[in-house]
Structure 1
Amino acid sequence: MSEKALFEPYALGNLTLTNRIVMAPLTRNRAGAGLAPTDLTATYYAQRASAGLIITEATQISPQAQGYQDTPGLYTPEQIAAWRVVTDAVHAEGGRIFVQLWHVGRVSHVDLQPGGAAPVAPSAIRAQTKTFVNNAFTDVSEPRALELSELPGIVNDFRQAAAN
């Protein structure tokens, strides 16, 4: 691809991007109260709106989906309203923005889970990694295996977060 092509408009489905530059998701651990984006989040993304497309930091679909401290969600009215401020700020600068939705599964800690429950995963095998919680990196907690009956609820959480 030539340098010229990098800066030319690009059709992505029914969207036309101003260029082919895409800002990849970057976990920032800066969500505010209620795990909602803040005014600083809106400023941060608006300053980068000259990219053809911004993909937001990973955003959890439910309280159970959280794996790191201070990451934003997209499942409460307050979070939805805060993300609207962010997207409006990016659009005001002529940018396009997509949200990266996630459920971290076993890469979580009981301190991040509702009621201190074990994280959920396909199996009860602990990941050999750390997560950021209580202002420090610590080993993830041992998960519990999901029941098959729980899967439709998680699929619906993704569906609802996308609709939000």
Structure 2
Amino acid sequence: AAAEEAARVARERREAEMAAAEEAEAAAERLVAEEAAASAEAKAAVLAEEAAGGFRFDVVSAPRGAEETGSWSDALEGRVFEQMLAAFDNYPPEEVEALLAALVRAAGDGEAEAERSLLKLAGLARSIEALPAAGSGGDGALAADEARSLYSQVRMWGKDGERWLEGR
């Protein structure tokens, strides 16, 4: 009787483990299906935007804060250009404008790396614009260090435009 009881308990345990494994597998399959549907929706939105002749940052996979930028606009381009001018203080404004224009053109043509550079530049521009408010608390040296760091990053991402400059 004890052996039968032990066998029954073992069988019930195996059945419970199998049921739990099946449930976990079903949950994983549901999650994969939901992610695929979300990805398909995002891709359809991107294709529609591209068909309209523009581009949109992929906010599904973009870094935190990117959702604030959304579609590239003239206003956003102006903000980025201002920060690039400050960062590229040893470049003529026409060259800075050419770098940014090359990035925008390449992103519009579907170059993912150019889009990524613009996304980073947009985020950096927002960070730089937020510095005076953050630095007004009293620590000007810290804000100046942060500004130097951010401008260095703007130069790095802005130089990516050289890859798509015409005539180079």
Tell me if TM exceeds 0.5.
no
So what's the TM-score if we normalise by structure 1?
A: 0.29
So what's the TM-score if we normalise by structure 2?
A: 0.28
Judging by fraction of residues, say which structure has more strand.
Answer: 1
Larger Cα-atom Rg: 2
Judging by fraction of residues, say which structure has more helix.
Answer: 2
